[in-house]
Structure 1
Amino acid sequence: MFEKLRIIFSIPELRKKVMLTIGLLAIYRIGFHIPLPMIATNLDSGAGGGAADFFEKVSVFAASDLRQATIFGLGIMPYISASIIFQLLGSVYKPLEELKKEGEAGRKKLNEYTRYLTVVICLVQSYMYLKFMLMAGANGQSSINPNFMNANEQLFFGWQIVAVLVMTTGTVFLMWLGEQITERGIGNGISLIIFAGIVVNLPSAVFSVFQMVSEGQLNALTAIFLLALALGLTTFIVFVERGQRRVTMQFARRGGRQATQAQTSYLPMKINMSGVIPPIFASSLVLFPGTIASFAGQNEGFEWLTDLSQQLSPGNTLYLVFYGALIVFFTYFYTALTFNSDETADNLKRQSAVIPGIRPGKQTANYLDGVLNRVTLWGSMYLLGVCLLPDILNSALAVPFAIGGTGLLIVVVVAMDSMAQLQNHLVSQQYESVLKKSDIKNYRRSSSKIRR
């Protein structure tokens, strides 16, 4: 491990990428501790019922803690919501579908639209967030300084505008940080920001478990069981994420006028093609109705919505059913977006590649669809088990988890992806070093031309 670290920091280009990534993540954590003016930094007292559950659950993948009223209070969640909307529209709205087929230019245009929608969502969510804090202050809970609330109305209205703009700017800045990490650093920037938001709370959560054991609130055997379960889930996630269904292919090799022996290869199809997208999308959608019902249930005549919000809170049966159904739906939906069987079959046909026993063209596409459906079924079951098992055990046995199934999945997958990219950079650097050391003709001349 230390030898790999030494190699990483001995390569100037790779060292620059790693330090840039660490520096930008440090900036994110610093901004996370800058509070909004005139607001208490901890909103635990102001949140209750479904709102508290919403804040706690969404904070897992929002790269923030909605109970902390800071300039990054909304986290990266508005950008994720905008991405969800465009992913859904891209499959039903023809202009967006055609835009996705334009390659790099279309991708840049879609990213631009996503940023615009992110700003709109930020403005709406930050305004609702402030309204919630105002409501908490009206109920006697000190989310906002009461003297400031009773001050000049114009001054108070101006403060609300400034707070909305600050929170919106904070999310846009986080989005920019993620893009810079993706382009100039190591790994996917947005995923790494979410990763950092989860991992930074892990030491305090582990310490609280040990404290509960020392105070007798938690049995030592239960704590050992939780540790073993976390290690087992981590091993299982790594095993499945590396799992592939390999479809055998044969490429016809031609030499002169006669065909030579066919070359055999395979088409890898991951068991979990959708990654961590389904749990993130499902969590954002399943908690939103419960939170709206919790707010609306405080009005006279809508008390029944409070009971509904309780049923839609984490740990309850209705929540688990909807959450699981959405995970399965988004697993199939996102896999269908990322893997096009017809396009893959056409590419194989152009490359003179065939699947043994399957005719090229439509039959190949149908065969790939069948394989994809079976693989996606097991992938959705895997995501259901990882994401729901901690919640089920928590509600059934009342045992605390330092990190939930969704958070653990995000941490492991993002870490594996970042390490894979880091390994690719190391391999490319070593390959270039080998070429420089060997006297391959015109290598230095060609490499200097490429740099120019």
Structure 2
Amino acid sequence: MKKLFTTLGNIWKIEELKERIMFTLLILLVYRFVSHVVLPGVDPTSPALTNNAKSGILGLLDMFAGGSFSRISILALGVMPYISASIVVQLLGIAVPTFQKMQKEGESGRNKLNQITRYLTVAITIVQSIGYVKTQVPVEAILPIMGTTMFYIVSVIVLTAGTLFVMWLGEKITDKGIGNGTSLIIMVGIIARLPNALAQEVTARVGSASEGGGPVALVLEIVALLAVVMFTVLIVQGVRKVPVQYAKKIVGNRQFGGVRQYIPLKVNAAGVMPIIFAQALMFIPGALTSFVPSFQGSWLMQFSNPVSLAYSLTFAFLIIAFTFFYTAITVNPTQMSDDMKKNGGFIPGIKPGFATSSFIDDVISKITFPGAVFLAIIAILPSIAVKFGIKQEFAQFFGGTSLLILVGVVLDTLQQIESYLLMRHYDGLMKTGRITGRTGVPAASSNAVL
């Protein structure tokens, strides 16, 4: 404990790190304040907004927006249009040669892709904002002083500006703060729901309207939550290290190369994307039963209940399938083999070229399956928690998209903080080893990461 307080004190001794942390906290505070500002022309006291809780895919969007979606806030769409645009550009970089060329152009190529992403974000936001005001804003909540047509026009402009404002805040955090700005904004939105969810669970266990269980059940739930978090950290940080040997080069009196490094192949290379894709498909049966009355009471209803066995098994299968799919399109063994060959590197015992790419592909296939299974288990844990009597709001933190995002963002941020500490010759946050985030792993001894 003394070492922890010493390390925290060292953080505030580094002036640059202290300024970055304070700047990040200030920006996040501004975001949370603005997220409570409702759209112009909306009556926040209207009874139509009192029970405006969302479920399904709308509940997922509301979680990413930190509750702004259900509050009819000017930041209701949050950063989701930007994330959607980023995913589209990323997929285009895999399928379209022009985008592939820009990815290989270095800094100039990245600037072009960022500009395209911003323009695409504006287009997606305009489309989503039109759908939002048409379907999610109750007519009863619109003030009579503003006509419906004028309200729709103003709302689309304000929602688009709100998303661009959030995107700007995220970029400012990335440039002048600590951690990835967009990820931190999503994380803050998720954490903002935790106090209310925990309060509901405490009330259900030990409050005046207790549903049974008492303090013992509450303590067991907290312990189970900590165990799930530790398990998730294990999955996020898990890597398979493939050794790479570099040939020696003698230039004058100096020797270059000749060191052994490794390629860190992540067990969960796809991250949270398989869960998002699988959830999008699992919302289709619910949408069909809502729009087609004849489907109500049919077998499709089993796939509309998140806690049913059929839903959980199908959800897990889709996650496993999408994990293999997303890993296949984002991790390119052939390109890794070519880059290794150009730099004079080789895997000991494996011939360069096709044999190396086949070996890497085989390793990826072997580690992807357990990673996909573990990811599926994490995704269905909230449904299992509900089966054990845990409230729906609190059960969301036992797994799924929210927990993976929280763990990943926290690890990335701690990794950056630890880098500042080690650069100033202070002890890191961990007594042994190094904190690793989603985008990097420590090199063995003094060797660098490939």
TM-score, normalised relative to structure 2: 0.82
Query: Once superposed, what is the RMSD of the aligned Cα atoms?
Result: 3.0
Match of 2:407 in 1: 412
Choose 125-134 or 188-197, whichever is displaced more: 125-134
Q: Which amino acid aligns with 1:68?
A: R
Q: Any conservation in 1 of the 2:66–2:193 contact (CA below 8 Å)?
A: no
CA 1:347–1:260 in structure 2 vs 1: closer, same or farther (change >3 Å)? closer
Match of 1:209 in 2: 201
Q: Which amino acid aligns with 1:277?
A: M
Match of 1:4 in 2: 7
CA 1:264–1:211 in structure 2 vs 1: closer, same or farther (change >3 Å)? same
Q: Which amino acid aligns with 1:227?
A: I
Match of 1:198 in 2: 190
Match of 2:213 in 1: 219
Q: Which amino acid aligns with 1:120?
A: A
Q: 1:18 aligns with which of 17, 21, 27?
A: 21
Does 2:358 match 1:366? yes
How many Å separate the matches in 2 of 1:281 and 1:179? 26
Match of 1:430 in 2: 425
Q: Name the count of aligned residue pairs.
A: 411
1:142-157 alignment, distance < 5 Å: 142-145=140-143, 148=144, 155-157=147-149
Match of 1:444 in 2: none
1:3-402 alignment, distance < 5 Å: 3-36=6-39, 37-40=41-44, 52-133=55-136, 136-137=138-139, 142-145=140-143, 148=144, 155-214=147-206, 215-220=209-214, 221-255=216-250, 263-283=259-279, 285-286=280-281, 289=284, 293=288, 297=291, 302-304=292-294, 311-312=303-304, 314-316=306-308, 319-321=311-313, 323-394=315-386, 396-400=387-391, 402=394
CA shift for structure 1 position 261:
11
How many Å separate the matches in 2 of 1:175 and 1:261? 42
How many Å separate the matches in 2 of 1:175 and 1:325? 34
How many Å separate the matches in 1 of 2:264 and 2:48? 48
Q: Any conservation in 2 of the 1:75–1:171 contact (CA below 8 Å)?
A: yes
How many Å separate the matches in 2 of 1:60 and 1:262? 50
Task: Give the unaligned 5+ runs of structure 2.
Answer: 427-450
CA shift for structure 1 position 329:
4.1
Q: Any conservation in 1 of the 2:302–2:311 contact (CA below 8 Å)?
A: no
How many Å separate the matches in 1 of 2:332 and 2:239? 17
Q: Any conservation in 1 of the 2:268–2:371 contact (CA below 8 Å)?
A: yes
CA shift for structure 1 position 92:
2.5
How many Å separate the matches in 1 of 2:166 and 2:359? 42
CA shift for structure 1 position 131:
1.5
How many Å separate the matches in 1 of 2:384 and 2:242? 36
Aligned to 2:270, the other structure's residue is in SS state coil
Task: Give the unaligned 5+ runs of structure 1.
Answer: 432-452
CA shift for structure 1 position 263:
3.9
Q: Any conservation in 2 of the 1:78–1:118 contact (CA below 8 Å)?
A: yes
CA shift for structure 1 position 254:
4.5
CA shift for structure 1 position 89:
2.9
How many Å separate the matches in 2 of 1:90 and 1:260? 34
Deviations along 1:30-76, one digit per CA (max 9) or x if unpaired, are: 0111112324378666658xx63333233233444421111111121
CA shift for structure 1 position 282:
3.8
Q: Which amino acid aligns with 2:411?
A: M
Identity level (%): 35
Choose 21-30 or 7-16, whichever is displaced more: 7-16
CA 1:55–1:44 in structure 2 vs 1: closer, same or farther (change >3 Å)? farther
Aligned to 2:265, the other structure's residue is in SS state strand
Choose 225-234 or 413-422, whichever is displaced more: 225-234
Match of 1:445 in 2: none
CA shift for structure 1 position 122:
1.5
CA 1:104–1:314 in structure 2 vs 1: closer, same or farther (change >3 Å)? farther
CA 1:121–1:288 in structure 2 vs 1: closer, same or farther (change >3 Å)? farther
Q: Which amino acid aligns with 1:430?
A: H
How many Å separate the matches in 2 of 1:43 and 1:319? 31
How many Å separate the matches in 2 of 1:196 and 1:346? 40
Q: Any conservation in 1 of the 2:11–2:18 contact (CA below 8 Å)?
A: yes
Mark the structure with the bigger radius of gyration: 1
Choose 198-207 or 3-12, whichever is displaced more: 3-12
TM-score, normalised relative to structure 1: 0.81
Match of 2:435 in 1: none
CA 1:305–1:158 in structure 2 vs 1: closer, same or farther (change >3 Å)? farther
Q: Any conservation in 2 of the 1:249–1:354 contact (CA below 8 Å)?
A: yes
CA shift for structure 1 position 371:
0.4
CA shift for structure 1 position 160:
1.4
CA shift for structure 1 position 170:
0.8
How many Å separate the matches in 1 of 2:91 and 2:30? 32
CA shift for structure 1 position 234:
0.8
Q: Any conservation in 2 of the 1:46–1:143 contact (CA below 8 Å)?
A: no
How many Å separate the matches in 2 of 1:53 and 1:381? 23
Aligned to 2:64, the other structure's residue is in SS state coil
Aligned to 2:55, the other structure's residue is in SS state helix
Q: Any conservation in 1 of the 2:233–2:407 contact (CA below 8 Å)?
A: yes
Deviations along 1:249-276, one digit per CA (max 9) or x if unpaired, are: 3333345899999644332222122333
Q: Any conservation in 1 of the 2:385–2:398 contact (CA below 8 Å)?
A: no
CA 1:69–1:180 in structure 2 vs 1: closer, same or farther (change >3 Å)? same
CA 1:251–1:211 in structure 2 vs 1: closer, same or farther (change >3 Å)? same
How many Å separate the matches in 1 of 2:197 and 2:231? 22
Q: Any conservation in 2 of the 1:248–1:267 contact (CA below 8 Å)?
A: yes
How many Å separate the matches in 1 of 2:232 and 2:247? 37
